[in-house]
Structure 1
Amino acid sequence: MAQEKITSFEVAKLAGVSQSAVSRFFTPGSSVSRKTADKVREAADTLGYRPNVLARSLITGRSRIIGLVVAYLENHFYPEALEKLSNALQAKGYHVLVFMASQTAGNIDSVLREILDYQVDGIILASVALSSELGGQCKAAGVPVVLFNRHQNDPTLTSVCSDNVAGGREVGRLLARAGHRRIAHIAGWEGASTQREREAGFLEGLRECGAELYAREVGNFAPESAREAARRMFDTGDRPDAVFVANDHMAFFVMDVLRFELGLSIPDDVSVVGFDDVPLAAWPVYALTTVRQRANAMVAETVSAMLAQIENPGTEPTQVSIEAPLILRSSARKPQARTD
């Protein structure tokens, strides 16, 4: 025989408080006195009471659930960033529902339609874009959307991203000023705004120093594609003497090909620079010079933007760019100090 569900009225009676006090105690963001909280907690534990979150959402119109969509977790940057996002949202009383999607627009649209069925309070898209049709549906449903680590040419969308252009520019300047003459680039997925912005900044930095791009391949942010790109680019007699790889995840595989397959020395034969500064980049086995994505700052801006739109639906969308500093390690030659 199924046990009858304990109600908040029973908790209130045992605790000697009002039912509204019990409701406030279990409502994130509400306040009750410490004395009342202790009474309610003890009574709830004694009776085995748990609030019905779904029932409350029907009354309040808020599910306190944020849908989080990510296209892939192979890139070491995303597991850490998504953990920080989840923890930050939970600290604000929200639960996170994670959905995986591929890079194809059709798949992403399908996933977003499914998310809307869950009556989420907001959607964060990490490493994926949003079609204009789905953007309109989210807006019509009153569900705010924030893009994390992506920009999109849509002024109605809020986005939070590193300053990829400035980061790429610093890489171009570094390699040119270090005396490299055959500077190459292994690009990521060309449909990503991060890739386009990083490469645009990189080329700008080269031009500022009177240099130009020597060779280019596409690694699609994928390990095997990055390996193949490195083999095509460096297994020749006129190989590059420096390469900017569009993210750290690919750069590790590129470095492995250069050292262990082609017998090249880093940085004596070739300098390698990445982008993200994931924890593995600092390991001595790679000691990767890279551009740091400041995950804590990006997460803080994303959560702030999301909550602002949930609590004040008329909030204007913003496009936030977070400073991305260049981190110098030993995988790339450094410019020589001027003596004049």
Structure 2
Amino acid sequence: MDESSVMRARDVARKAGVSASAVSRAFTPGASIAPETRRRIIEAAEEIGYKPDLIARSLTSGRSNIVGIGVGNLENPFFADSLNQLSAAFATAGLRVLLFPATARGASEAQVHEVLQYRLDALVLLSTNLSSSLANQCRNAQIPVIMYNRTTADPGRVSSVTGNNRGGARAIAAHLVAAGHQRPCFMAGHDDASTSAAREEGFTGFFRDRGLPAPMREAGHFTREGAAAATRRLLTLPEPPDAIFCANDHMALAAIDVARAEFGLDVGRDISIAGFDDVPMASWPSFALTTYAQPTAEMVEETLAIARALGEGVTEPVHKVIEGRLVLRGSTRRLPGGAKHD
């Protein structure tokens, strides 16, 4: 911290009637200081126009209190909601957020270079894969990486927070089988997305374990357009599926629209359609989507906890799987015996 900044901090301390160390704690996220003392210091700083030298402080402490978030496909409401909650949680914890765009396949070389110009305490990847280039450069720069709703082939070096993808998909499969479906289909996302692979494994594994025929398969590529096209291909088959489990709600909502508007099907009677995530639109009466709800608030809380731990010197990667719940609504057939949907 330069001399003028030190002098101005002392001015704040005198005006607020506190020590210089109290001024430092007041501007340090997570530091212990009484709320009333912090309030007096902030008021004194505002009166004399003092602002802490964050760059100098980061050089001294080795921490910037900045967390990068790599953002991929925000067309999916689940990720848009997760980003909102992550940003709010980090801000409440006194951490600043740096957003940078990335594709579902990962960040480009130019984006990697730009991100690494900042002294990040951690990098959270939201709806994007971890490219080998980004992994290597983050490792060399000693920037810990947290995968949100994704996993990586290198779990020994990268932390992750996910929902119970396999368990949730098995719950969907059990529901469809119990409802008497004979021709189920799984609609995949991207082939290289860990979420899609885990959900497919859980879904198809349920049938395999019970000696039932393997489900049909199509790919919607996690997009509305891709899911709509996949649904059209399925419903024009000589023997179309009588149930479709989409790897996320975003695709399932598109499948419902196509089944109703283009094929005149009564979703929930003529065909069952289920998703995964429980985005806000899933509960709308016009969709009433059966889905496996991911607990976004808990996933965000765990991501923040891992980021804090990594910033405090924890070196071993942390992997959290958060349990969700099956939500039954009108887009799937009622169970025998009168079991009701939400």
TM-score by length of 1: 0.91
Aligned position for 2:38: 37
1:212-291 equivalence runs, <5 A: 212-291=213-292
1:305-338 deviation line (CA, Å, top 9, x unaligned): 1211110243x21322111321111110133139
Residue 74 of structure 1 aligns to a residue whose secondary structure is coil
Measure the CA separation in 1 of the matches of 2:33 and 2:292: 46
- Is contact 1:235–1:262 with CA below 8 Å preserved after alignment? no
- Is contact 2:223–2:251 with CA below 8 Å preserved after alignment? yes
Instruction: For residue 229 of structure 1, report the CA deviation from its aligned partner.
Output: 0.6
Residue 117 of structure 1 aligns to a residue whose secondary structure is coil
1:55 maps to a residue whose letter is: A
- Is contact 1:292–1:326 with CA below 8 Å preserved after alignment? yes
- Is contact 2:105–2:131 with CA below 8 Å preserved after alignment? no
Measure the CA separation in 2 of the matches of 1:295 and 1:151: 16
Measure the CA separation in 2 of the matches of 1:292 and 1:75: 15
Assess, with a 3 A threshold, how the Cα gap between structure 1 residues 238 and 25 changes in structure 2: closer, same or farther.
same
Aligned position for 1:113: 113
The percent of aligned pairs where both chains have the same amino acid is 42
Measure the CA separation in 2 of the matches of 1:326 and 1:40: 49
2:230 maps to a residue whose letter is: A
1:184-223 equivalence runs, <5 A: 184-223=185-224
Instruction: For residue 210 of structure 1, report the CA deviation from its aligned partner.
Output: 4.0
Measure the CA separation in 2 of the matches of 1:92 and 1:69: 19
1:173 maps to a residue whose letter is: A
Measure the CA separation in 2 of the matches of 1:257 and 1:35: 58
Measure the CA separation in 2 of the matches of 1:32 and 1:335: 57
Using the TM superposition, name which of 144-153 and 54-63 deviates more. Answer: 54-63
Task: List, as ranges, runs of 4+ consecutive aligned residues in structure 1 with deviation greater than 4 Å.
Answer: none
1:33-66 deviation line (CA, Å, top 9, x unaligned): 4553343233222223222322322222211000
Measure the CA separation in 1 of the matches of 2:136 and 2:299: 25
1:1-340 equivalence runs, <5 A: 7-34=8-35, 36-105=37-106, 107-154=107-154, 155-314=156-315, 316-337=316-337
Assess, with a 3 A threshold, how the Cα gap between structure 1 residues 51 and 9 changes in structure 2: closer, same or farther.
same
Using the TM superposition, name which of 139-148 and 202-211 deviates more. Answer: 202-211
Measure the CA separation in 1 of the matches of 2:36 and 2:298: 36
- Is contact 1:173–1:209 with CA below 8 Å preserved after alignment? no
1:67 maps to a residue whose letter is: G
Measure the CA separation in 2 of the matches of 1:209 and 1:266: 27
Structure 2: tracts of 5 or more residues without a match: none
Assess, with a 3 A threshold, how the Cα gap between structure 1 residues 198 and 109 changes in structure 2: closer, same or farther.
farther
Assess, with a 3 A threshold, how the Cα gap between structure 1 residues 16 and 283 changes in structure 2: closer, same or farther.
same
Instruction: For residue 75 of structure 1, report the CA deviation from its aligned partner.
Output: 0.4
- Is contact 2:164–2:323 with CA below 8 Å preserved after alignment? yes
Measure the CA separation in 2 of the matches of 1:214 and 1:199: 10
- Is contact 2:246–2:275 with CA below 8 Å preserved after alignment? yes
Assess, with a 3 A threshold, how the Cα gap between structure 1 residues 71 and 35 changes in structure 2: closer, same or farther.
closer
Measure the CA separation in 1 of the matches of 2:35 and 2:218: 61
- Is contact 1:185–1:213 with CA below 8 Å preserved after alignment? no
Assess, with a 3 A threshold, how the Cα gap between structure 1 residues 133 and 337 changes in structure 2: closer, same or farther.
same
- Is contact 2:105–2:129 with CA below 8 Å preserved after alignment? no
- Is contact 2:272–2:331 with CA below 8 Å preserved after alignment? yes
Measure the CA separation in 1 of the matches of 2:207 and 2:334: 15
Residue 50 of structure 2 aligns to a residue whose secondary structure is coil
Instruction: For residue 76 of structure 1, report the CA deviation from its aligned partner.
Output: 0.6
Assess, with a 3 A threshold, how the Cα gap between structure 1 residues 115 and 201 changes in structure 2: closer, same or farther.
same
Alignment RMSD: 2.1
Residue 199 of structure 1 aligns to a residue whose secondary structure is helix
Residue 251 of structure 1 aligns to a residue whose secondary structure is helix
Assess, with a 3 A threshold, how the Cα gap between structure 1 residues 226 and 96 changes in structure 2: closer, same or farther.
same
Measure the CA separation in 1 of the matches of 2:260 and 2:325: 27
Q: Give the total of aligned pairs.
A: 333
